[in-house]
Amino acid sequence: MVTESEVGRASSGWRSVATVAGWQTAASLCYYTIFAATGVIRDAFSLSESLVGVFLTAALLGYTVGLFPSGAAVDGFGEKRTMVLGLVALAVASICVSLAPSYGLLLGAGAVLGAAYSTAMPASNRAIVASSPPGRQGLAMGLKQVGVTVGSGAASLVVTGVAAVAAWQVGFWVVAALAGGYALGFVALYDGSAGTGEFSLPDVSGLRANRAYVLLVAAGLFLGASVFSMLGYTVLYVQDAVGASAAVGGVVLAVTQVTGSVGRIGAGPLADRLGGAKGAATVALGQMAVATALLAVLATGDRSLPVVVAVFVCLGLSMHGATGVFYACLSALVADDDIGGATAGGQTAINTGGLVAPPLFGLLVETSGYGLAWGLLGGTTLAATGLLLAVRLRT
């Protein structure tokens, strides 16, 4: 029989989960503006597709370099302080991107934006582990990860929508204002958990001995290559290959993020039902196998708008929907005290894939067309599928 105190603790836990999911939404709203704005930035700075990829890489580089220091800050000082400072920094960096007068300074502002976003995964994952009701971590992690897709989808609508009627920079200012407002509310709504009181970079030697964790990190490398390339070139693909406007491309990207949210919410309870790291790995494996088949359709199939929209909707459910159970699996494979460092390692792998793949995708588009570029992502997704199978067998 469930007691009133247990019901109260569960209710309080879900409120904290919702607050953390809101923070993740606000943080992602800031960071993913750069992916939504690829079309307008290409036009504003007269860039080639590969130089657009370099801009995305600069932001990812800042994100990646900041991950282990952010993980150390989370483990040392608790997640609340890191999350508040990170969200304020994201708002400021968003404004800096909009005010960059040259391509070189745009790259620098993008790198600062990425560094500010490096607080997101280590801090929010620790917050979910501390807040989620027992046995419901997969669902809680999925709900939190919905913040990524909701934030990204909202950024797509805001940035492309504002750019259609006003200066493109205004969209970044709106996003910054929303993030700053949520930072103030987060201070009052979320209590947080205590850290060790010391700032020290994580000791990864113990994590290296965890074979299942290492295989999952390797899968994250190929997952990141696929996810970030798809994010970076969805709008441009709809413009260039389908022949629609940038605003339509923004809507397609937003819809993809909505279905990504649905995929994350649906995958979490299924992973909880199957149980532990093995259950989460099983669900992610299935999602990535479906994504591999869908990317093959993009590489070889019809480029009419209805077909493209249908494929991207399903890629949202599968590829973008897999990141929630990826982090649920990661959290189940390591001790709670190592969540910050372990998340930094996993996200570093995802970002490394994102650093390499988007410029290569853009180069393939320029030299051989979108068919070969989507084929590249089909290969990276297939590699992630194989590694997730190995994780499942080891757990």
Domain at 196, CATH number: 1.20.1250.20
- Whether the per-residue pLDDT at 6 is higher than 60: the answer is no
11 pLDDT band (50/70/90 cuts)? Answer: low
Q: How many CA atoms lie within 13 A of 247 on its CB side?
A: 7
Contact 190, 16 (CB under 8 A): yes
DSSP code per residue over 210-261:
-HHHHHHHHHHHHHHHHHHHHHHHHHHHIIIII---HHHHHHHHHHHHHHHH
Which residue range(s) make up the domain with 208? 4-394
Give the span between the Cα atoms of 274 and 105, in whole angstroms.
48
Indicate yes or no: pTM above 0.85: no
Which residue is it, tokens 């993809």? 256
Q: How many domains does the chain have?
A: 1
User: What pLDDT, on a 0 to 100 scale, did the predictor assign at position 43?
Assistant: 87
1 pLDDT band (50/70/90 cuts)? Answer: very low
In this predicted model, what pLDDT tens digit does every residue of 337-378 receive, in sequence order?
Answer: 777 778 878 888 998 898 888 888 988 988 888 999 999 999
Give the span between the Cα atoms of 259 and 254, in whole angstroms.
9
